[in-house]
Amino acid sequence: MKIMKINIINSFDEKDYGDVINKVLTKAGNITQQQNTQVNVILVSNEKIQEMNNQYRHKDYVTDVLTFPDGYLNNLGDIFIAIPKCIEQSEELGHSFNRELGFLTVHGFLHTIGYDHQTQEDEDEMTSLQENILNKSKLNR
């Protein structure tokens, strides 16, 4: 049974990032028991995510991922990921692009279902769950 419908919209380039995104979201959906839901992952440029970050969060800089939870008609929401920022961060952190893309996808997904990192306790819980999902997806550091 497919628990979650995953829509990927690549507004950045012609590459197919579906393998990594589908793998981590399927694991994340199973682990968090998401049933009959859908999530949208939109891949964008640094310029687009900076524009959105400024428009919606009043922060005028490039970020790696923005999440817009929804919840209406089982749509968990939209996860916007800046591919150039993802590449940059994977190089800075010394791990694969796929690991960073998986991390940003899972991070955004957890925000769609209500997780956040406003307190240390919440951050610890979210980080632990992210690492569990990434490890089970074979996207270790």
pLDDT tens track for 5-53: 999 999 999 999 999 999 999 999 999 998 889 999 999 999 999 999 9
The whole-number average pLDDT for the span 93-107 is 96
C-alpha to C-alpha distance for 59 and 26, rounded to whole angstroms: 31
- Number of residues that make up the chain: 141
pLDDT higher than threshold 60 for residue 2: no
Reported pTM? 0.94
pLDDT higher than threshold 50 for residue 1: no
Contact of 8 with 17, CB cutoff 8 Å: yes
